Amino acid sequence: MVNIIKKKVSGKEYYYLSYSYRENNKVNNISKAIGKDLPEYEELARIKESFCYDIFQKVWMPKIEIITKKYHEQFDSLPKPIQVKDLRTFGVRFTHNTNRIEGSTLTLREVAVVVDEPNIPINKATNDIIEAKSHMSVYEDMITINRNIDWELVLDWHEKIFELTKPEIAGITRQYPIQISRSKYVPPMGGVENLLDDLLNWYNENKDKLHPVYLACMMHFRFVSIHPFGDGNGRICRILMNYILFKNKSPMFDIEYKIRQRYYNALENANLKEDDMIFIGWFCKEYIKANEKY
């Protein structure tokens, strides 16, 4: 995590941001001078955001760049039908895991049957089956369209996933308090649409400046922290994450159900401690691990 520390330089005390990480059995430290006085909250938040990106560039970006290069070499060498097949295979796994994280009872094999052989009956909850079909449909939309990420797109995807199972909240931002099951973090009570506006503005200002993996990570974290919908926030933020990665020709990220507890912990701790770096560190390590085959 990022800490604020004091150091004496030439007899005078200065504030620094500090981050420690382990590499090759050695503890390394990255620091950034703030000044003799701590800035106001908003300015400190801006400095921290810049520092987090500096850390990302130094610690994880070199490995991610290698992965991306190898991914392109492998994917681009495939015949077009195999590329399409691989993208669909990823979509089935992604649909299974993202819904499973949210409580779906379908196995990976059952999700494959639902999307590839819809006439074969499955003895599982109807809503799980419908939401698997709807999510896969949105995923297929995601890899074929070229739309900017804006209000209309977010609401459209949410409505498509939930219009048949939760029509009363589908495509509608919440105007009421909400709690996250098994979490101490409480999302913002009001001003949800303003917060989402700010996030979308941040994305549009930075989409051509920041590395796509970092951009996808922060969009994921900030969107789910706002929790703009009554339900389905996790599924939408993971769709947005992969849309950013796919649009920028980076390997996508399927957060597997088996690591869900570490995923929950990273989100909760980053929010409770107001330290983005907790989630960024988790995300980058797991992203690299998920794509280490490249």
Whichever domain contains 226, its CATH number is 1.10.3290.10
Residue 104 falls inside a structural domain? yes
Q: Is residue 101 part of a domain?
A: yes
Q: What are phi and psi of 14, to 5 degrees?
A: -130, 150
Domain that holds residue 263: 60-290
Whole-number average pLDDT of the chain: 95
pTM value is: 0.95
The answer to the question of residue 285 being in a domain is yes
* Spatial distance between the Cα atoms of 32 and 74, rounded to a whole number of angstroms: 39
Q: What is the DSSP letter of 255?
A: -
**pLDDT, mean of residues 26-34:** 93
Alpha-carbon span 276 to 268, nearest angstrom: 11
**176 belongs to a structural domain:** yes
108 has a pLDDT exceeding 90 = yes
Q: Of 33, 34, 29, nearest to 58 (Cα)?
A: 29
DSSP 31: E
* 127 found inside a domain: yes
Query: Which one-letter amino acid corresponds to residue 147?
Result: R
Spatial contact of 254 and 93, defined as CB atoms under 8 Å apart: yes
Report the domain count for the chain.
Answer: 1
Mean pLDDT calculated for residue range 125-153? 96
* Higher local confidence (pLDDT), 252 or 26: 252
**Does 10 fall in a domain?**
no
Residue 25 inside a domain? The answer is no
8 occurs within a structural domain: no
Q: Measured over all CA atoms, what is the biggest interatomic distance in the chain, rounded to whole angstroms? A: 77
Given this model, what pLDDT does residue 141 score?
96
